[in-house]
Amino acid sequence: MTVSLCVVGSGPAGLYVADALARRHAGARIDVLERLPTPYGLVRAGVAPDHPGTKAVTRQFDRTLARPGVRFLGNVTVGRDIALAEVRAAYDAVILAAGAPEDRRLGIPGEDLAGVYGSGAFVGWVNGHPDHAALAPRLPGPAVAIIGAGNVALDIARVLARTPEEMARGDLCAHAARIIHAAPLTDLWVIGRRGPLDAAFTPAELSELGSLARARPVVESTALHEPTPTEAMPRKTLEILRGFAARPDAEDAPVRIRILFNAAPLAIEGAAGAVTALRLARTRAEDGRAVSTGETLTLPVGTVVSAIGYRPRPLDGAPLDEARSRIANTDGVIADGLFVVGWARRGPTGVIPANRADALAVADRVSGWLADHPKGTRPGPDALDALLRQRGVRVVSRADWERINQAEIACGDMTGQPRQKITAIAEMLSLLDDTATEA
């Protein structure tokens, strides 16, 4: 009997697990469901637009979607167009790979003021994600506070600091470019509540700050006196930070990226409903925690971006483990025949390659479960197709996606960029209907 499997989510984790399962189960029918008309998840909508090389992994994902038996079904939302219970009834096994798309809140006064944004929404905006394309964040300048000490915080600072000429090589969306390049920004604060040893920057991301055309990184030298390298903070990272602290030209740069350690957000202050300042508590390390010293400082800023992590969206039939910002699971198993992979499984940690190892481990669990249970007894893709037709869902196929892809590349050719993304789902679907009529 033919095995039928369904992967919900077409980001790195979902496509890695689909590829692994296709290799393990010859002849299997594997459907990859995606709520957007476009695949690739955070590779398309989360990788910084000035890192086009990182997005080259999509070539591997294209090969997965082209495998015999593997289908891409875009514009299908589990929980809206079809219930998870219905998907489970149709397939032998279901693997959730929808990531953790919701920003965690700061939980401090003032975070609902105009000018406060989560990093997921902000990065989605610069990348043209349909959920966030209309964000149009306030960037009145001259200062922006980015709360978080990881690569996402550095990505945001770097994109705000780059010149138009530097960004031209990437796929920064035109709507974001207009606002960013017109913003009168001089100081970008990257703020970690703990010390440098607890920062999650990778050396490659951190070192990029030292080669920007008009911006210079600024680091408090006093924050770097005591730390010694650890497994969490490699020697290279500490060397880069100390090099930044020793640069004599940083304060005179047109734009300064100020990395501030041992500062925890207390409140966001505002006037007339908009951000005017961020109040912070200075902290010290105590038993692995950031404890207030009693000293406070206030940064005059017009924008605050919180880069403190993400959480999955709730889904009936897949309860959340709120404390760990993930779907509740045991080693990737949610329930009988229901699995989870990627950030939705382990929480929002790790870069793209980490999802491959995760996907291989979960694929092993799926294969082990299939070996011990009847398979090929469910109606599979045919049942899903019938339900979606009955409900009038406009499913986007892999061929449809390629038409969207080619249209975006053609728009990019006009501006000298790899692509200009179509940011509205309705526009994508209209393009498909128009090309179908022409054919």
pLDDT tens-digit map of 80-131: 999 999 999 999 999 999 999 999 999 999 999 999 999 999 999 999 999 9
Q: Is 13 annotated as a binding residue?
A: yes
Average pLDDT over every residue of 172-193: 97
Please name every residue paired with 86 in a beta bridge, in sequence order, or none if there are none: none
> Which CB contacts under 8 angstroms, 24+ apart, belong to 417-422?
417/168, 417/169, 417/170, 417/171, 417/172, 418/52, 418/170, 418/171, 419/171, 420/171, 420/173, 420/174, 421/127, 421/128, 421/171, 421/173, 422/128
How does residue 221 score in pLDDT terms, banded at 50, 70 and 90?
A: confident
Mean pLDDT rounded to a whole number for the chain: 94
Across 67-71, 84-88, 346-350, 421-425, least confident range? 346-350
Bridge-based pairing of strands 320-321 and 333-335 is unpaired
d(CA 337, CA 263): 45
Q: Is 78 annotated as a binding residue?
A: yes
Q: What are phi and psi of 389, to 5 degrees?
A: -65, -45
232 has a pLDDT exceeding 60:
no
| List of domains in the chain | 4-101+311-396 (3.40.50.720), 105-308 (3.50.50.60)
Q: Is 402 annotated as a binding residue?
A: no
Q: Is 42 annotated as a binding residue?
A: yes
Q: Is 351 annotated as a binding residue?
A: yes
Looking at residue 286, what is its pLDDT? 85
Query: Which residues, in sequence order, are CB contacts of 375 under 8 Å at separation 6+?
Result: 1, 3, 92
Q: How many CB atoms lie within 10 A of CB 332?
A: 24
Looking at residue 197, what is its pLDDT? 83
Q: Is 343 annotated as a binding residue?
A: yes
Q: Is 216 annotated as a binding residue?
A: no
